[in-house]
Structure 1
Amino acid sequence: MTVSPSATPLLTVENLRVRFPSRTGYTEAVRGVSFTVGREKLGIVGESGSGKSVTGRSLLRLVAPPGEVTADRIEFDGTDLLHASERKMREIRGQRISMVMQDPKFSLNPVMTVGRQIAEAYRVHTKASRSEARRRTLDMLGAVRIRDPERVFDLYPHEVSGGMGQRIMIAMMLIPDPDLLIADEPTSALDVTVQMQVLAIMDELCSSRGMGLIFISHDLNLVASFCDRILIMYAGRVVESCRAGELHAAKHPYTRGLLDSLPRLDDDRAELPVLTRDPAWAAEGGR
């Protein structure tokens, strides 16, 4: 299933497949996924194991062996990512496309100050001087609404809160000014207030920089309120796609099941509905 973006696509993915060896042969984690992303916010939603994170990693060729990635096409701004050299991919990763992994704070090096890590990421891609990298880092920390950047620059990861850790990681990924950011559940470990603050920062940066965003999450309500378009994934496939504002009119049984299972304040049901496997659509999108 292919979705057309609201603008000229930065990234085009056609028939993406990712498989891993198992005792019985191979297990396909991603099966025939196709989509495009422009300078917009695209949400990818699905339950755990639906293939969301593997899809994000495969775009940057970060699926380690023995995992196998194939596709008819993975093209970013005219570059064939599927067949590009590793040297070319190193230029693209971080500089043109950045990725915030799950639990971003734990991706930081525990023995380096956060400021040094961000500055190092900037220098790798720009060859800037130490003083220029420090200045740019302080500016970026301010852009993600961290108070007193000078003080935070010299802190170690264990000295910052979860919310600040998320912001620091976002600052590190955005400092090279990428065209596309892949955010893999960057707010999953945060309370609602901090979550909204981080989303507001990302929204502001996307708007001001004209950056594309792939936002991966299991939270349907969150994605619907934040993104422009939504892909629903089930068992490695995209089973439905729509504009965020049209989610309430979704037709696929799996999407309807996800919507019906969301708790509501005005809901007096004793139990939430349980998703069941209907042969009519499980054969299309199921295992």
Structure 2
Amino acid sequence: MTHLIDVENLRVTFPTRSGTFEAVRGISFTLGKERLGIVGESGSGKSMTGRALLRLIRPPGQITADRMEMHGQDLLNASEKRMRQVRGRQMSMIMQDPKFSLNPVMTVGQQMIEALRTHEKVSKSRAGERALEMLDEVAIRNPERVLTLYPHEVSGGMGQRIMIAMMLLPKPEILIADEPTSALDVSVQLQVLDIMDKLVKERGMGLIFISHDLNLVAKFCDRIAVMYAGRIVETCKASELGRAKHPYTLGLLNAVPDLEHPRARLDVLKRDPAWREAPSVSARQ
């Protein structure tokens, strides 16, 4: 498989009064034209990993790596001008909550047109046409009306689909989806997943799907990387998640409620998130 992303020994650190805190602790992985799921509890480093790929960690945070490449091009040492070309045009990221990602004082149409014209030399009228086509592609009815709305006038599910449409407008090769369905009800979740699945297959994109939902990731993704305390502790094919071996992965699986066989108490992990002894396992293909 041709690698779109190749990462070795990625670290994200922040200085604190008590010393340096490592949010991401030396992880390695690759991404091809596939769906890579990254799972783990809150604070495990999932979102930080996605942001690090786009160099969106603000100072005093620091990103280091032995290698962080896209198509063999160095992202770690690329200039900010080069990274502005990468962000959106080649690699996009859907943030967790569209209410905090969309500009509240601009209409949906204004934001989508601006997102496209930032990366392509197209007229406003042509950018508007492309925005309409993309909204239709993500199954939004009456896209002409939606373009005139402000973010507070759309539902959570529609806002998420608008974000997907906006991030996909410049036709990136890599999409990072950070909890794209966590704030949605089940029916809307399925719609969003169907849209992403269709676009990944038709466009041949690489997708990093960040989630807490083990069952969802196992059904939707091709490979899974399990993160704990800033490290990747286990990787496997999605179809083989039920045969996981690492104690932390087993703990996560055993903590998933079973509606058919309910238990009075769920299994509890013995370690806390401050535990730093989990072995580092590579997620390289």
TM-score for the superposition, normalised by structure 2:
0.95
Question: 1:61-110, CA deviations, whole angstroms, 9 ceiling, x for partnerless residues?
Answer: 10000101100000001210001111111111000000111112321111
Q: Which of 12, 27, 31 lines up with 1:37 in the alignment?
A: 31
Distance 1:186 1:208 in 2: 20
117-126 or 232-241: which moved more? 117-126
Moved over 4 A (4+): none
In the TM superposition, what are the counterparts of 1:1-287 in structure 2 within 5 Å? 7-277=1-271, 283-285=277-279
Aligned residue pairs, count: 278
**Are the equivalent residues in 2 in contact too, given 1:236–1:285 (CA < 8 A)?**
no
Shift of 1:154: 0.6
The alignment-based identity, stated in percent, is: 69
Give RMSD over aligned pairs: 1.3
Structure 1 residue identity aligned to 2:8: E
TM-score normalised according to structure 1 size:
0.95
Contact 1:235 1:285 in 2 (8 A): no
How far did residue 282 of structure 1 move? Answer: 5.6
Task: Give the secondary-structure state (helix, strand or coil) at the position aligned to 2:3.
Answer: coil
Query: Could you list the per-position Cα deviations for residues 173-228 of structure 1 after superposition, in whole angstroms to 9, with x for gaps in the alignment?
Result: 00000000011111111111111110110000001110100011111111111110
Matched residues in 1 for 2:145 and 2:74: separation?
42
C-alpha distance in structure 2 between counterparts of 1:119 and 1:105, whole Å: 18
In structure 1, C-alpha distance between the alignment counterparts of 2:129 and 2:165, rounded to whole Å: 13
User: SS at 1:200's partner residue?
Assistant: helix
C-alpha contact (below 8 Å) 1:104/1:186 kept by paired residues: no
Unpaired segments ≥5 residues, structure 1: 1-6
CA contact (8 A) 1:234 1:285 kept: no
2:184 & 2:2 partners in 1: Cα distance?
33
